[in-house]
Amino acid sequence: MTGTKIIFVIKKIGQMLNLENFDIKLNTDFIGRNFIYFEEIDSTNSYLLNKNNNIDISGTVVFAEFQTKGRGRLDRVWTSDTGQNLTFSILFVKNQNLFQNLNFLNFSAALAVSTSIENLYQLKTDLKWPNDVLLSRKKTCGILIETTSNKGVIDRVVLGIGINVNQNYFKGEYNYPPTSIRIELGKEVERERLLAEVLNNLEYYLIKLKTDKHQIINDWKMKCKMIGEKISIRQKDDIKFGIFDDIDENGFLLLKTKAGIEKITAGDLIIQ
């Protein structure tokens, strides 16, 4: 091992991810150096958000082979077959600069996943505002950021990432059609290598965020092919129509409508 503290929580089927292979490929200073492996859990995000679990090391990764209550944005259910994909969360504490730039954390995570997939498998990705990574215009990765606060001040941020890796069939109905790396590549891939690569790239983008956060926006925009297209934005019971004009300096979507430019801070983007 290269200095990673790994905790196992195994109940039934045993360890499926080869953590020694993962650790050899991990090249970070703090992301993933405290690693908790669950065979099954309700939610990796919930585990890190719960202060009663006494996890307070920034960069801690909680990984699960299966989540019984995995979730995405707007409390949507995130389903994932056991042992086929990557579902994990990362804890950040005592980092007010990061806490004040959560849109940039979101973009950094999307860039880390996108860059890793493109570098390892030569598959072209597309980034969808605000938090998805697409392959062939189908969703292969979702990102969820959640926080806790103390007296109105954020004191804990959890970044949840779910990547469809080796799953080759998706049942049920989805808000956006899913795919996986295996489906697009035509063969299974090594999850350990991809997980390490994503964490390596995430730490790289977080370092970049400290010195040049606007470059994060520019990098993200270079990978978003939807800018300039006709879209709709669903916000609860309201739907707005227009052209995806740009992303502003804070990471918000600028929607061009007949009335002018409107800043969108949250919502579901749908291509017309």
163-180 pLDDT, tens digit per residue, is 999 999 887 777 788 999
Question: Where does the chain have alpha helices with state H?
Answer: 19-25, 44-49, 96-99, 102-121, 181-185, 191-211, 213-222
Identify the bridge partners of residue 91 per DSSP, sorted by sequence position: 158
Q: Are 254 and 194 in a shared domain?
A: no
Residue 80: predicted pLDDT: 66
Q: Are 110 and 236 in a shared domain?
A: no
Under-50 pLDDT residues of the chain: 1, 73-74
Reported as type and span, the H/E element at residue 141 is strand 138-150
Residue 106: predicted pLDDT: 95
Q: Are 113 and 238 in a shared domain?
A: no
Our count of domains for the chain comes to 2
Q: Are 53 and 158 in a shared domain?
A: yes
Q: Are 149 and 39 in a shared domain?
A: yes
Report the CATH number at residue 237.
2.30.30
Residue 1: predicted pLDDT: 43
Report the CATH number at residue 16.
3.30.930.10
Q: Are 199 and 131 in a shared domain?
A: yes
Print the domain residue range for 248.
230-271
Largest pairwise CA distance in the chain: 59
Q: Are 120 and 162 in a shared domain?
A: yes
Q: Are 150 and 202 in a shared domain?
A: yes
Residue 176: predicted pLDDT: 80
Instruction: Provide the CB-side half-sphere exposure for 12 (13 A, CA).
Output: 7
Q: Are 89 and 212 in a shared domain?
A: yes
Q: Are 163 and 29 in a shared domain?
A: yes
Extract the tokens encoding 111: 């860039």
* pTM of the predicted model as reported, rounded to 2 decimal places: 0.92
pLDDT digits (tens, 9 = 90+) for 108-145: 999 999 999 999 999 999 999 999 999 999 999 999 99
Q: Measure Cα distances from 64 to 45, 137, 254, 255 in Å.
A: 10, 27, 36, 37
Residue 164's nearest CA partner among 112, 201, 117 is: 117
Q: Are 31 and 155 in a shared domain?
A: yes
